[in-house]
Amino acid sequence: MGYTLQQLSDIEEIKLVKHRYFRGIDTAEMALLDPLFTEDVEVEYIGGDYRVALKGRANMIVFLANSFHSGCQAMHHGHMPEITFTGPDNAEAIWQLEDIFINHEKQEHTYGSAIYRDDMVRENGAWKIARTVYDRVMEVVQPLTPGARYTVSRLAEVGLKPDDRRDISHLITWETIE
Amino acid sequence: MGYTLQQLSDIEEIKLVKHRYFRGIDTAEMALLDPLFTEDVEVEYIGGDYRVALKGRANMIVFLANSFHSGCQAMHHGHMPEITFTGPDNAEAIWQLEDIFINHEKQEHTYGSAIYRDDMVRENGAWKIARTVYDRVMEVVQPLTPGARYTVSRLAEVGLKPDDRRDISHLITWETIE
Amino acid sequence: MGYTLQQLSDIEEIKLVKHRYFRGIDTAEMALLDPLFTEDVEVEYIGGDYRVALKGRANMIVFLANSFHSGCQAMHHGHMPEITFTGPDNAEAIWQLEDIFINHEKQEHTYGSAIYRDDMVRENGAWKIARTVYDRVMEVVQPLTPGARYTVSRLAEVGLKPDDRRDISHLITWETIE
């Protein structure tokens, strides 16, 4: 009847992993992100008309560093976790994302929401993301706002500058959905 | 001195009810929403110049299905719960809402925030919403954004199409506030 | 191995303090805000090109009442806490803010995100904010939206009217960052 002390503690630890993930991507803190994934993490993002897939922690870190680069302003906040234990060291977690992503190089402002479904595993006492999938709920892509001043961008300071970025297309499986 | 294990477990269960509620409305999952309410749930929404009231779970489900329809893009995220126990099977919960609601049929984009005050009761071991009231904190209603592309709408796929919608005006008490 | 019952209870109590803080500023409820701070609270806000500092609960309350005034629409939501205990009655808390601040007197709409780092202490059994620092992650300042109707503003009703506001510049240390 209800959660055990161990489960309540695990719920808080699982939340921390995802909270750090979102803080890490918006501030390009790769050292914060690295320990949050299993070595063979599987990643899948489903947008309106595409499906992107990626495997492995090393690839994920390169993918994130090159996606959240110096030309962007980014806010990714994860909300309303629904955590279900599937074993003593396994859980599924649903999260709802709100994101703002202003790409100044493309002059494109994207915002919206998505639902994440993560598989979490405990490895050597630490909860990690073993699989993460997101599926968009709503998305709007618009031009930059006339008259707007883009006054603070943490990524402009700490994100990868153009010369430091790499081509990451070989890391990703890209599929168009009809 | 602090929360008991039972209360901490109940807090997590109460959060789950509201997290599922918000996920359910933005994705029109009526089967997810139905068990979250008591049979005689009372609902009241207070906007700038109106008060809307509604009673009963069956009516609430019809109201939600017809409000979050195929012509909309919707994001409703509930944040920062403040849960106070008023008995072993009773609690009050305050939540803060952020919402985006783009109604393409009316060409109207609404966003803002509100404070929910919910009465929660435990029935046969499951926490349910017995009464839910929201009062707006801020609201903006604007035209659609020039040049915007509305690239993903889950409700366009799963929400009620025009021919499947019903007149719900008889379910609602509507009052104009001076 | 994991959190104790006392720590899980403390985590919930610490969250409540910050949840009330955000509810209190957006609704100008000074009576809700006052008990959330230690008497000698230290406050520091770091924006793109400025650093604002302030000391003491009485000054903080005056500062908040005069900042969240009747000319504004405000949404300040705190997300994704990362709470670390540094003693039985001490903790550090990281929060991620999303904010919307529409100043109708200046005709200026600001939105963005920030990371808070708070020092929390337990005084006479109640957790309080002893130090709070925020550093912007992203910020956009734009004109009001053409065609928008600003339909609800709680602060217009409850915030300080122009004649009731005070000059608060002497409470604040302001520094421009190069």
DSSP letter, residue B177: -
C: neighbours with 3+ CB pairs under 8 Å? A, B
pLDDT by residue (tens digit) across C62-121?
A: 999 999 999 999 999 999 999 999 999 999 999 999 999 999 999 999 999 999 999 999
Low-confidence spans in chain A with pLDDT less than 70: 1, 48, 178
Q: What's the number of CA atoms in the CB half-sphere (13 Å) around residue C59?
A: 16
- On average, the pLDDT of chain C sits at 95
A: neighbours with 3+ CB pairs under 8 Å? B, C
pLDDT by residue (tens digit) across B27-75?
A: 999 999 999 999 999 999 987 677 889 999 999 999 999 999 999 999 9
Of A28, A104, A109, A99, nearest to A72 (Cα)? A104
DSSP letter, residue B161: P
What pLDDT, on the 0 to 100 scale, is given for residue C1?
A: 66
CB distance A26 to A76 below 8 Å: yes
Q: Is the pLDDT of residue B178 over 70?
A: no
CB distance C104 to C122 below 8 Å: no
DSSP string, A43-65: EEEE-SSEEEEEESHHHHHHHHH
In a mutagenesis test of the A interface, which of C137, C177, C178 is the best target, namely the one with the most A β-carbons within 10 Å?
A: C137
Nearest to B77 among A2, A80, A82 (CB): A80
What pLDDT, on the 0 to 100 scale, is given for residue A124?
A: 96
What pLDDT, on the 0 to 100 scale, is given for residue B175?
A: 81
d(CA A110, CA B50): 33
What pLDDT, on the 0 to 100 scale, is given for residue C119?
A: 98
Q: Residue A46 pairs with which residues in a beta bridge?
A: A51, A135
Residue C166 in contact with partner chain B when CB distance is under 8 A: no
pLDDT by residue (tens digit) across B89-115?
A: 999 999 999 999 999 999 999 999 999
As its CATH architecture, domain A5-176 has Roll (3.10)
Which chain A residues are within 8 Å of B146, Cβ to Cβ? Answer: 143
What 3 state SS string does chain C have?
CCCCHHHHHHHHHHHHHHHHHHHHHHCCCHHHHHHHEEEEEEEEEECCCEEEEEECHHHHHHHHHHHCCCCEEEEEEEEEEEEEEEECCEEEEEEEEEEEEEECCCCEEEEEEEEEEEEEEEECCEEEEEEEEEEEEEEEEEECCCCCEEEEEHHHHHCCCHHHCCCCHHHCEEEECC
Mean per-residue pLDDT, C113-130: 98
**Statement: the pTM of the whole predicted model exceeds 0.95:** yes
d(CA A87, CA A95): 19
Q: Give the SS3 label for residue A70.
A: coil
Which chain A residues are within 8 Å of B6, Cβ to Cβ? Answer: 2
* Domain boundaries, given as residue ranges, for chain B: 5-176
Q: Is the pLDDT of residue C42 over 90?
A: yes
